[in-house]
Amino acid sequence: MKEDTHRALGEIVAQIKAHLRYQKGLGIRTLLSRQEARPLLTLEAIRSEMGECTRCRLHEERQSVVFGEGNPQARLVFVGEAPGREEDLQGRPFVGRAGELLTRIIEAIDLTREEVYIANIVKCRPPGNRNPQPDEIRTCLPFLRRQLETIRPRIICALGTFAAQTLLETEERISILRGRFYAYQGARLMPTYHPAFLLRNPQFKRDVWEDMKAIREEYNKG
């Protein structure tokens, strides 16, 4: 009985220490509950740190750093692959044809772009809209991770292969990954097809709609 009590107390102490280490890692120096804990960084501070980024080769041909936009306290964040031509020109994510479709998808689940947050795995347009290279993703990914740590969304929708594989650290195909939630840093992550893919393959819109309904149901839980 005494050994059981000591074991239980040891487990409680270990949990408390782990929670304190977690908060210390966020820069928090007072004891807060998990719900109260918030990173001290702001999105503006992260964007300022990026500056006119030259950390990888993508800066050589880009016009704009496309950081992201939307509600800084969004419960739902959409993460895409990389800016395209229109995004590069305007400095905003998802404003081309794929962006128009994403806007309609968001509105179909009774939300607006202003209520969610939208970003990409890499912040600069790859030349000719080619796929981002692994070293480019590795260079840019820390900024996205810090965005997500700052926003602390309940739900993340990974749009397309690169977003899903990068965040979930897997090489599994998007067709296998989509359709169910995964745990990601305290959030629930749903992979689905990228809007640009849907423009070329409209037969997959029904699959995306099923994914969006699951996201809406999770969102409504508050």
- As a whole number of angstroms, the distance between CA 122 and CA 131 comes to 10
Q: Match 């209520």 to its residue by tokens.
A: 115
State the DSSP code for 115.
T
Segment among 36-40, 146-150, 185-189 with least mean pLDDT: 36-40
Per-residue pLDDT at 206 exceeds 90: yes
Token duo for residue 155: 């739900």
Per-residue pLDDT at 42 exceeds 70: yes
Per-residue pLDDT at 30 exceeds 50: no
β-strands 76-80, 187-192 pairing: unpaired
Q: What mean pLDDT do residues 159-171 have?
A: 98
- Asked if 88 contacts 64 with a C-beta cutoff of 8 angstroms, the reply is yes
Q: What CATH topology corresponds to 41-219?
A: Uracil-DNA Glycosylase, subunit E (3.40.470)
- As a whole number of angstroms, the distance between CA 105 and CA 113 comes to 10
- As a whole number of angstroms, the distance between CA 23 and CA 40 comes to 11
- As a whole number of angstroms, the distance between CA 87 and CA 63 comes to 9
pLDDT the model gives residue 16? 56
Name the band, by pLDDT with cuts 50, 70 and 90, for residue 127: very high
In the chain, where the domains are located:
1-38, 41-219
pLDDT the model gives residue 29? 47
Per-residue pLDDT at 4 exceeds 60: no
Per-residue pLDDT at 13 exceeds 70: no
CA angle 215, 202, 121 (to 5 degrees): 55
Per-residue pLDDT at 163 exceeds 50: yes
Mean pLDDT of the chain: 89
Q: What mean pLDDT do residues 161-166 have?
A: 98
Per-residue pLDDT at 36 exceeds 90: no
pLDDT the model gives residue 41? 84
**Cα–chain-centroid distance for residue 19?**
23
Per-residue pLDDT at 12 exceeds 90: no
- As a whole number of angstroms, the distance between CA 162 and CA 27 comes to 31
- As a whole number of angstroms, the distance between CA 196 and CA 82 comes to 11
pLDDT tens digits for range 175-187: 999 999 999 999 9
